[in-house]
Amino acid sequence: MNRLADRTAQPHSGVSLLISLLIRYPEVASVTYCPDPANLKLTFLLKRPLGLRRFRALKDRVVRSLDVYDRLEGGPPCSVSLRATTHGRVSVLEIRHDLARTAREGLSLIVELVRAELGGFLAVDSDSFPLEEDLATQEAAIEEMLDSLRESGTGRNLIAFREEGRVLVFNR
């Protein structure tokens, strides 16, 4: 009986986490969970090409900031990678972060750094900004679901993205 309950809770935690991340961070276009190795990929859409110089500056800032955060938290450095691709007059920025070391604060730091560096270029779902009073609730839920996913995992690749004001989640 407990095994069945655990199996049904695992996918729910992953799906709920992806939905909560998209609700909390309207700058994030999609979130992908990959179980092997366990990581989260945040995807940002840019309304113009991201030049190599700006990409390198952002990458350096994200990596160094997360390294400092991890040191302050007393843990080993996390694995983070950034990739940008340009498609005509738009770019896609992907930031992959190791789930074992992912904390809500680290995800918030990543989004804030991207917002600070690329704010005017980000394609943001303007209808999705959470209300100020909902932020603390969303952040607590994200932290709880991150812990649950780290402990139990899920064997499925999941991807969540926005479409016409809705959040859609799929197995990959």
List pLDDT tens digits, range 35-64: 888 889 999 999 999 999 999 999 999 999
Mean pLDDT of the chain: 82
Confidence of residue 86 (pLDDT cuts 50, 70, 90): very high
What mean pLDDT is predicted for residues 111-122?
93
Amino acid 79: pLDDT: 86
What mean pLDDT is predicted for residues 4-14?
46
Structural domain count of the chain: 1
**What's the pTM?**
0.84
Bridge partners of 87?
90
Bridge partners of 167?
162
Amino acid 109: pLDDT: 93
Confidence of residue 126 (pLDDT cuts 50, 70, 90): low
DSSP state of 128: G
Q: Is residue 28 a contact partner of residue 111, using CB atoms and an 8 Å limit?
A: yes
Enclosing domain of residue 112 = 2-171
Amino acid 133: pLDDT: 58
